[in-house]
Amino acid sequence: DAGITQSPRHKVTETGTPVTLRCHQTENHRYMYWYRQDPGHGLRLIHYSYGVKDTDKGEVSDGYSVSRSKTEDFLLTLESATSSQTSVYFCAIRTGDNTNNEQFFGPGTRLTVL
């Protein structure tokens, strides 16, 4: 499984509460990504990281922040959750080299915001 896990796997929270999702890898890959998956939209990139403390925004970054204080962990935070952030969140790592953008995905976190 390329050593990538996500926690929690399921979470139900209320509007306005902060939520942090964790992605953990065991293989020291440089690039890590957060996507959200929604029916009719496919997967959309939220944020990504290209090294410790190096992050950049993706297509749908509003309302989300990320942090990467060590190589193995990439955290996604919803500062004040809204119902529109109900989704399945996937973390991914880039397993390819500089000429190969192959990504390996985590098992996903199903988040429901009531």
Partner 1 sequence: AQRVTQPEKLLSVFKGAPVELKCNYSYSGSPELFWYVQYSRQRLQLLLRHISRESIKGFTADLNKGETSFHLKKPFAQEEDSAMYYCALSDQAGTALIFGKGTTLSVSS
Residues that bind partner 1 (CB under 8 A): 31, 33, 35, 40-45, 48, 50, 56, 58, 90, 92, 98-108
Residue placing its CB nearer to partner 1 in the complex, 14 or 38? 38
Residue placing its CB nearer to partner 1 in the complex, 4 or 113? 4
Phi/psi region, residue 61 (left: phi>0; alpha: psi -120 to 50; beta: rest), is alpha
**92, two tokens:** 């991914």
Give strand pairing partners of 76.
21, 66
Residue placing its CB nearer to partner 1 in the complex, 74 or 106? 106
Cβ at position 67, least distance to partner 1 in Å: 18
Residue placing its CB nearer to partner 1 in the complex, 44 or 73? 44
Cβ at position 106, least distance to partner 1 in Å: 6
Cβ at position 30, least distance to partner 1 in Å: 10
Measure the CA angle with vertex 29, ends 24 and 34; round to 5°. Answer: 55
